[in-house]
Each structure stands twice: as C-alpha cells, then as structure tokens.
Amino acid sequence: MLRFLVRRLLGAALILFIVITATFFLFFAVPDDPARLSCGKTCTPDTLAAIRANLGLDQSVPAQYWDYLSGIFVGRDYGEMRCDAPCLGYSFVNSEPVLDTLLDRFPATLSLAFGASVIFLTVGIGVGVVAALNRGGWLDKTTMALSLIGASVTIQFLGVIARYVFVDELRWLPKPEYVPLLDDTPGWAGGLLLPWLTLAVVQAAVYTRLTRSSMVDSLQEDYVRTVRAKGLTPFQVTGKHAWRGAVTPVLTVYGIELGTLLGGAVVTETTFNIPGIGKLAVSSVANSDLPMIMGVVLIAAGAMVLANVVVDALYAVIDPRVRLS
Amino acid sequence: MTAVQSTKKNMADAARGNGAAADPAPAEPLLDVADLKVRFRTEDGIVKAVDGLTFRLERGRTLGIVGESGSGKSVTNLALLGLHNPARSTIEGRARFDGIDLIGAPERRLRDLRGRRLSMIFQDPLTALSPYYTIGEQIAETYRRHTKADRKAARARAVEMLDRVGIPQAARRIRDYPHQFSGGMRQRAMIAMALVCEPDLLIADEPTTALDVTVQAQILDLLGELQRDLGTAIILVTHDLGVVEDVADDVLVMYAGRAVEYGSTAEVLDTPQHPYTWGLLSSMPRLDGDVDEPLRPVPGSPPSLLNPPSGCAFHPRCGHAVELCRTERPVLARPALAPGSGDAVPWPGNGVSACHLDTATREGATA
C-alpha cells in the first residue's frame, strides 16, 4: 500500500512537471512579446520596460525556463519585488506574487467544492441506489425523469432564477456571498447555501444516473446472487455487498469532478460572485495577466492530479484486487 | 403426473449420522416438487423456462439433473430458493421441503432457510464469491446470519470448515481474498460456505464445470465425503453424464423446461428410454468404447422457450419422431405397448420417460 502511494505520488510529480513546462512554453516561448501579455490592460511604457527587465526576456528561452523552474524551489526577485519560494511568478497587475493571490482565493473555491460535494454525493448516490432497487417501478421512473431535467439545466440559468425566487422574492435563503469559515461559520454556510444547492442540483442528477446504472449492474453480479442464497437480508445484500461493486465508477467520475471543482467552478463562482479560483481565472484573462493565468492553470492541474492520486488510493481501499497489481 | 417411487438401495448409507429413525416423517421425502412451473415475462412474450416439473429427493441422496443449456436446470434451483425476481417471474406448482411449502412462502421465511437448511454452490466460484471480502469473512458471515455465534466463534467455525474441505493452513488462509485462491480452492471455499450451517439440501449448480478435470474429481469426492458425514441431500446440476454416473443416485433428464426421463442412475444410463437421453449418451466419449466409433452429437439446437415446438418439444431433433410426436405432448410414464395406447408395460425398475414410442421401437433403436 505504501509502495503503491509512493509510486502514484511520483507519477503525480512528473505530471505536474510536464504541465509546468508545457504552460511555460505556451505562454513565454510561443508569444511574440510575453512582456506585453504580462503587463495587463492598463499598461504604461514604464511598467512594460520594468517587466521586460524583471522577466529576463533578453535572455535565451532555456535560461528563462531555468529561472522560472528554480523560482519554484528557491524563490526569485523581480527587480525590487521579492517572490518567495515556491514562486509561481509575479502578477504585475495585482502587484503581488501569483501564489499569494491563489492562496487567498483558494479557500472560497474549496468551500464551494466541499459543501456542494457533500450535498450532491449524498443525494445522488442515495437516490441512485433507491432507484436501482426499485428498477422499473414508478419511483425509478420518476427519479430518472427528474434527474434528466436536473442534468439538463445550466448553472447560470438555474442560479439566476433560484436567486430571484428564493433570495429576492421569497427570502427563504440568505444572499449568496463568501464569508471565510473561520470568521463567521453560520455566515459561511448561509452565504454558500444557494451556490451549493445550485451546483448540487446539476451534479446530483449526474450521480443519480451513474449510481443507478452501476448499482443495477452490481445487483446482477454472481456474488450478489450468492449472498442472497446465503440468506442475507436485503439491507445486508445492498449495504454490505452490492455497493462495493457499484462505487468504483462513481468514485472515478467524482475524482475528475473534484479536480475540476478545485481548479475553480468558473460559472458558479461568476454567477454568485464568489471570489474563488474560477472567478480569478476569468478576471486574469480579462486583464491579460499572464503570470496569473499560468498560476490558475497550474493550480487547476495540481488539483486534478491530487484528486486522482486520492481516488487511486481509494480504489485500493475498496478493491483488494487493486492492491496487488 | 406420476408419482415416482424411489429405490431403496443405498438407504442405509444415505441415512443421517444421527440415524434415519429420528426423521419425523420418513414417508415424506426431504424435497417433493410437483408440477413446478417458472415463467418469465419478457418483451418478446412469456418464456416457459420450467413447464411442469415433478421430482422428489430423499434425505442424504443425490439427484443429478442433466440437460443442455437453457433446459431449465438452473431456473428450477433458483426457484426452489426463491431467488427469482418476483416482478419478472411467475412460479407455480408445489415444492415441499421437509413439510414447508417453498413456493409462495414469504420472503422472510425463505431467507431464514437459505444458507441454513438449503444451500447453493455455483458454477464459477471466482465470480460467485465476493471479491471485496476475505474468504473467512464470507464463510463467517453465513454462520453469523443463521446462528447466534459472535464474531470470534464464527471465525473459528470458518477455520474449521475451511480445514474440513481440505484447505491447508486454514487459520491463515481465511484472511485471503478469493483472487488469492486457485480455482479448485475457491470451489472448496464455496462448499465450506454452503455447508457451514450443515444444511439438509445442497444444490450444486455445475460445481465442476469451470474447473480442470483432475480438480473436478477432487471436488466431487469432497462433496461425496461431506454428504456421508453430514447426511446432506444433493441436487447436482450438470451436463456431464460421467459425473452423474459417478455420484448420483437418481437422474432427471430435462429438455425445454420439462423432464423427459427420470429414474435411478443405473436405469437411466444403462437402459435409457428417451431418444434425447440416447443422444446425450452417444455424444459422450467413452473410455471403454471403440476409439474409431464417431461421437454422434444430438443434431440441431435447443428450441426457443418463447415458442416451443408443438407436441413433444424434442420432435424436431428426434430421428424416431412419429406423427403423434408433432401433435401431442407425451407425459412422463412407463413406455406403452403401442403408440398412444396408454397401456404401460411392466418395466424393469421404476424409470419413467416422456415419449410416445412403444417398447418395440425403443428396443430396436437402442439395440
């Protein structure tokens, strides 16, 4: 199990290195004038000149690449601006190191992903299992029809409507906003409730359908027939045995989903004005803040890689056959 | 419907360890199945998977059920355990197990019987055992379900059973997962699991089909040995007549959801009465036969159970079929003197078959 984890982590580090390299060349080696791209919309000739000097654009591309890489491990100076290790670059638009901004924004994204995941996994898996156990019955048909609707609506549509109905008109839900968890826990949960629910409606639909179909398959496995032939109760058959076979596909999809969510739920964060990574991605593109865009790409890739390491480790926990291979 | 007497031979060694006299009603067999019908509703229509099956099984004895794939062997057994989805299937007829009606019994009641008094083992132990739990846990789980044993006692029982089915270092191997066992050991573990509560009836659904030949023999020996020790009656489903010859007391030959021949193993295999049984026997290679003699497979393939042939379901594949076979379904009976006469001849033994052919034709055909 330890060897398995070490191997996965090494693989993850390799993938991150490849992502860093690819992003660097995409943004620094390919464009004609990276300095102009790094400078942002409100770029003065003075800033532009400073950036040129600080980024070392007069040097060769390999030398620039080396500076960038070594900056991640030992930090880097951009003129008078110090960027401590791990330095992912310096945003001249925000006048602070990229990593500081990312760390500042990440808790909002994490909060959104965490709360929404709890809701959509609970609802999606729960409803999916119930539908599978009542396969072909009215309950199955109703939930499948509802989930099709859920999967079909978009967040920007549902979010705006829900906000108008439940916040502005009915006043059932508090105004969506982000308050840090440690400052005001009830405020944190209240402010995120509508974003969570909106994201969860769309996602739960996906997990309901996925859980149902993998549970239906699992219930037809030979070993499930065996445990029924042993006289186990339906609760034991489903709760102890059948779910083990059904959970793997759900976990696979959730691993990818979690990676995406932690890389920033762009639409949800924009719709509800939550200052997370997703919103940062949008604003940095709008401001042509090249170092920040790179940082967002890296954090999204890192989140995806990390989520998949966790999922791989969970596969081994769930299925003993994985541990040996 | 014909009541079939069972032969008295082997009764002594078939008796349970505590003596046959302890049985409350020796007149009633352990399992008495009468006119069992299993139907499945499908989009294309109703499949008559089992269509009026009658047989009985005494305590401690072995019944071999033989037939091609789709003849209704497995469906019959799953019906006895009540494992068919009630929303998709209809089960009619009677199946009395030690005085308990299995057909139509509440699910709760059947659950208490399954694994405790009626157990089942399956063809492929790799897929039939859960890959997610250890062998020990899967055996102990059955024991705990049906007894008041605590975790520790159930674990000890699992070790005992695993040891009894011949798995070396049982105390260590109960911590293994099924994929860490070989095919033969997996089937042994499956048997240990099925017999952990010492059931009265073990249904073995092609228990050796997925195993190689040497292991097959070991598994059959093991089943025979446990049967002698525990007095378990066995229904052995197989398509291998060699296996039947070795272990079964009685044989039921199934075709298209019906019994076509039923009798003691000696009768059915030595003096087969039904053309389908002849076909099965002549399609089987024999060590004592002439090596140059070609195997004669039964021509054609089993009929669709959605729309079975009229009359005798076997007639399209039968080389001896007469007009009557196409129009009238034969019942399970002793052979008649002449086609359709209904006058049964005294026949050596108790075997019955569902065929219109008269004795002269049968003797001519098998000679």
Range of the domain at A264: 99-324
Percent of chain B exceeding pLDDT 70 equals 86
Q: What is the pLDDT of residue B287?
A: 67
Specify which of A311-325, B222-236, B314-328 reaches the highest per-range mean pLDDT. B222-236
CA distance linking residue A291 with residue A39, whole number of Å: 9
Last residue of a domain, one of A41, A68, A97: A97
In a shared domain, residues A130 and A279 = yes
Nearest to A287, CA basis, from A41, A37, A33 = A41
Band of pLDDT at residue B16, cut at 50, 70 and 90: very low
Residues of A in contact with B114 (CB under 8 A): 228-231
Q: Cα dist. A109→A115, A145, B33, B88 in Å?
A: 10, 31, 65, 48
Q: What is the pLDDT of residue B6?
A: 39
Evaluate whether A78 touches A38 at the Cβ level (below 8 Å). no
Last residue of a domain, one of A76, A97, A118: A97
What SS3 class is residue B346? coil
In a shared domain, residues A37 and A154 = no
CA distance linking residue B227 with residue B14, whole number of Å: 8
pLDDT in tens, B166-220: 999 999 999 999 999 998 999 999 999 999 999 999 999 998 887 888 888 889 9
Instruction: Annotate A50-66 with b (16+ C-beta within 10 A) or e (fewer).
Output: bbbebbeeeeeeeebbe
In a shared domain, residues A169 and A304 = yes
Handedness of CA B314, B317, B321, B326 (dihedral sign): positive
Residues of B in contact with A323 (CB under 8 A): none
Cβ <8 Å between B141 and A226: no
In a shared domain, residues A54 and A142 = no
Nearest to B110, CA basis, from B101, B120, B121 = B101
Cβ <8 Å between B83 and A320: no
Q: What is the pLDDT of residue B65?
A: 94
Listed as own residue / partner, the contacts of A78-86 with beta carbons closer than 8 Å and 24 or more positions apart are A78/A54, A79/A50, A79/A53, A79/A54, A81/A54
Q: What is the DSSP letter of A175?
A: P
Nearest to A254, CA basis, from A110, A112, A151, A121 = A121
Percent of chain B exceeding pLDDT 90 equals 47
What SS3 class is residue A292? helix
In a shared domain, residues A163 and A187 = yes
Evaluate whether B40 touches B85 at the Cβ level (below 8 Å). no
Length of chain B: 367
Q: Mutation target for A interface from B75, B130, B139: give the one with most A CBs within 10 A.
A: B130
Kindly tell me if the per-residue pLDDT of B334 is higher than 80: no
Residue-by-residue pLDDT tens, chain A, 325 positions: 678 778 888 988 899 899 989 988 888 777 777 777 777 777 788 878 877 777 777 788 888 888 888 888 888 887 777 888 788 888 878 888 899 999 999 999 999 999 999 999 999 999 999 999 988 888 899 989 988 888 888 888 888 888 888 888 888 888 888 888 888 888 898 889 999 999 998 899 999 999 999 999 999 999 999 999 999 999 999 989 999 889 989 999 999 889 888 888 888 898 888 899 999 999 988 887 888 888 999 889 889 998 888 888 888 888 888 876 5
Evaluate whether B272 touches B366 at the Cβ level (below 8 Å). yes
Strands of the sheet with B352-353, listed across from one edge: B118-121, B201-205, B233-238, B62-66, B250-255, B258-264, B352-353
In a shared domain, residues A235 and A250 = yes
**Strands, E, within chain B: which ranges?**
31-42, 45-57, 62-66, 89-97, 100-101, 118-121, 201-205, 233-238, 250-255, 258-264, 352-353
Tokens 């033989």, residue located:
B66
Handedness of CA B265, B270, B276, B281 (dihedral sign): positive
In a shared domain, residues A68 and A193 = no
Q: Which residues have CB under 8 Å from B323's CB, separation 6+?
A: none
Q: What is the pLDDT of residue B338?
A: 57
Residues of A in contact with B131 (CB under 8 A): 223, 319-321
Q: What is the pLDDT of residue B272?
A: 86
Last residue of a domain, one of A80, A97, A114: A97
What average pLDDT does the segment B13-30 reach? 51
Evaluate whether B335 touches B358 at the Cβ level (below 8 Å). yes
In a shared domain, residues A91 and A130 = no
AA letter at A217: D
Q: What is the pLDDT of residue A29?
A: 74
What average pLDDT does the segment B255-263 reach? 91
Length of chain A: 325
Evaluate whether A198 touches A167 at the Cβ level (below 8 Å). no
Band of pLDDT at residue B283, cut at 50, 70 and 90: confident
Handedness of CA B10, B14, B15, B18 (dihedral sign): positive
Instruction: Name the pTM for this structure.
Output: 0.79
Q: What is the CATH number of the domain that holds A124?
A: 1.10.3720.10
Residues of B in contact with A324 (CB under 8 A): 179
Q: What pairs with residue A76 in β-bridges? A: A83
Q: Establish whether the linkage from the previous residue to A86 is cis, with ω within 30° of 0.
A: yes
The domain spans of chain B are: 123-196
Give the residue with greater pLDDT, B174 vs B10.
B174
Kindly tell me if the per-residue pLDDT of B336 is higher than 80: no
pLDDT in tens, B62-104: 999 998 888 889 899 999 999 988 888 999 999 999 989 999 8
Band of pLDDT at residue B349, cut at 50, 70 and 90: low
What average pLDDT does the segment B15-20 reach? 38
How does strand A90-91 pair with strand A96-97?
antiparallel
Band of pLDDT at residue B24, cut at 50, 70 and 90: very low
Count the domains in chain A. 2
Helix (H) or strand (E) holding A90: strand A90-91
Band of pLDDT at residue B15, cut at 50, 70 and 90: very low
pLDDT in tens, B94-149: 999 998 999 989 999 999 999 999 999 998 888 999 999 999 999 999 999 999 99
Evaluate whether A92 touches A39 at the Cβ level (below 8 Å). yes
In a shared domain, residues A244 and A256 = yes
What average pLDDT does the segment B333-354 reach? 63
Query: Minimal Cα distance from A244: which residue of B?
Result: B132
CA distance B35 to chain A (A): 23
Q: Mutation target for B interface from A135, A219, A226, A233: give the one with most B CBs within 10 A.
A: A226
